Chains A and B, each alone.
Chain A
């Protein structure tokens, strides 16, 4: 039996995210994107991975025939096809282990949605899948939840006369849910805030380049390979967010005028929180801290909000103030860092004479013991 073509088949927009196209099509029939995938190709085993990354060709051709579209057009929507050098491990996870609430981890730009709506239908462009802070087309903050309510569910596409991305909880179209970013610090002069904003947007832009596999400019260092940029960002954000048994994490020392008065980061577990799994505001906070750590004193003080009477929150400050296991981790991982940064870490290493591997193995043993005790403690709980 030949499969019947579906009567309503929205065409994907040239820069659309594959999940967005699937979700828009599903919304035409009041089903979810996963249900639609099952309907389009019932015999095909789905991998569970987000289709943006791993889109089975057989599934794509089954969908193509039922939606009257060329298979290659669908395949070209895949992120890997669009950006062959994309760092896939930097995409927020959608398998339930990350903070994403649905099939797609969303960080949308309300102006992009409004443009799509004016052009026919709201949709999510491919960059929505990247863990960015800003929409670089509009220089606007990306947002990931409805500001009208505190939603429990991921946004979804729905039919409201035409397809709209709406908040699943309150039903508000998210293109109309305008949020212009956090209010800057009131004690910061506008020109300073504006300068800080330029630094943050530039850093986010370089991060985007690195995610797509292109050489990027690291603050205080210059142009480096994409891999190096991402390694430094990963290591520094982990160091900033690392839990400390007695003190709060390092990120709480920073108070950027762009994201002032962020609540203290007080991790209760030893689980690492990768940069891409933070929500855009937290990413901005950590990104400001990373810029501050790597830049010269003037920019560093601007981005960290630290006054001249206080310490300059530099890389050296971080190395001196973090717990030993974090220092050891940074020393070990700095092998992959760009030379100017590696030199600074090595200087700290030789000054302290720290045996990084020994410290890390002691830390791992201590963690294992801790986990064992914890599992014993909860083993009898039904």
Chain B
């Protein structure tokens, strides 16, 4: 049996699985609690326990696409699961996380919230009814936080619709007296700031790109310890980290996909380890178009430097 001391103890047995099983496991959704995400989760936890008051604190989590905003929200929602209270004969839904529809007019928005609450059939085609039902059901199920993912979708609306939507947000925050958390990109932040009252109420946290520093090294160490490869990888090494950052542009989603692609490749070609050279290999199929573009630029840069 190979030496699996490079893997964390709980993950060693997995390295002995058949190739297809290991590949399937690598491709599964996973959560690695990197410090920035954990900080955001702690903030969300604090907000969830905030006592009701006239002006509840709200939070905007913003950043580039793929920085893990939606995953943080999903994770937080899963950490505060739904239940059913037999005494009140209602579900308990502490966290209501909604992805905004592509063009979030207030009717569509209320429809989406009702859908998430499990009552999407109610109040269809009647904004006023949908609003009343949303307010009532949110109160009845004891919702303590409303999370709106992809808030930048509101930019697809006309300026008037955007204004109405921002008013809707303010109305809900005042009426339900619960914290509202929005996630989106930098444009969403700018849009939210156009409403002075909301700008006052919303705190903002940016999920910044990864830098080649200690947290990133720790992320690579964690990857090396959990990926079911039978030999020690070079993920921790400076050159490998730099190459990964170059190709991913410090984007969380890209980093995860790239490392997973490298791990799958290592299993398929029998190398059973990720080496720095793998990142320059001709047969490496990069997992996204954006990464391919980055690689081309990187290649051109290198050619220029060589010339």
- A interface residue numbers (CB < 8 A to B): 4-11, 29-31, 39, 68, 159
Contacts and interface: CB of A to CB of B under 8 A. Distances in A.
A30 B122 contact: yes
B143 to A, nearest CB: 10
A7 B113 CA distance: 12
A30 B90 contact: no
B133 A8 contact: no
A7 B133 contact: no
B72 to A, nearest CB: 24
B121 A8 contact: no
Count chain B CB atoms within 10 A of each CB in A10, A29, A68 and give the residue with the most. Answer: A29
Interface string B118-153: 111111000001001100110011000000000000
A99 to B, nearest CB: 31
Contacts of A9: 84, 89-91
Contact of A31 (B118, B121, B132, B136): B121
Nearest to A11: B89
Contact of A159 (B86, B91, B119, B136): B136
Nearest to A7: B91
Nearest to A8: B90
B93 A7 contact: yes
Contacts of B141: 7-8
Nearest to B143: A7
A66 to B, nearest CB: 9
B142 to A, nearest CB: 10
Nearest to A66: B118
Contact of B137 (A8, A31, A39, A68): A8
A4 B122 contact: no
B181 interface: no
Count chain B CB atoms within 10 A of each CB in A7, A11, A31, A68 and give the residue with the most. Answer: A7
Nearest to A31: B122
B117 interface: yes
A39 to B, nearest CB: 5
B136 to A, nearest CB: 7
B187 to A, nearest CB: 32
Chain B interface extent, by class: 20 to 34
Given A30-B123, A30-B129, A30-B133, A7 B86 contact: no
B118 A4 contact: yes
A159 B90 CA distance: 15
B90 A7 contact: yes
Given A29-B122, A30-B123, 14 more contacts: A7-B93, A7-B117, A7-B137, A8-B89, A8-B90, A8-B91, A8-B119, A8-B141, A10-B89, A29-B121, A29-B123, A29-B133, A30-B132, A31-B122
Given A30-B129, A159-B136, A7 B118 contact: yes
B91 A5 contact: yes
Count chain B CB atoms within 10 A of each CB in A4, A5, A39, A68 and give the residue with the most. Answer: A4
A68 B89 CA distance: 10
B107 to A, nearest CB: 15
Count chain A CB atoms within 10 A of each CB in B120, B121, B123 and give the residue with the most. Answer: B121
A10 B86 CA distance: 9
B121 A5 contact: no
A5 B89 CA distance: 12
Interface in B44-96: 84, 86, 89-91, 93
Contacts of A8: 89-91, 119, 137, 140-141
Nearest to B122: A29
Interface string B86-118: 100111010000000000000000000000011
A6 B119 contact: yes
B144 to A, nearest CB: 15
Interface string B11-30: 00000000000000000000
A7 B136 contact: no
14 contacts: A4-B118, A4-B120, A5-B91, A6-B91, A7-B91, A7-B93, A7-B137, A7-B141, A8-B91, A9-B91, A29-B122, A30-B133, A31-B122, A159-B136
A35 B119 CA distance: 13
Nearest to B93: A7
Contacts of A159: 136
A39 B140 contact: no
Nearest to A159: B136
Nearest to B91: A7
Nearest to A42: B121
B77 to A, nearest CB: 15
Contacts of B86: 11
B140 A7 contact: yes
A7 B89 contact: no
B125 to A, nearest CB: 12
A136 B105 CA distance: 54
A68 B86 CA distance: 10
B129 A6 contact: no
Contacts of A11: 86, 89
Nearest to A26: B122
Contacts of B90: 7-9
Nearest to B141: A7
Contacts of B89: 8-11
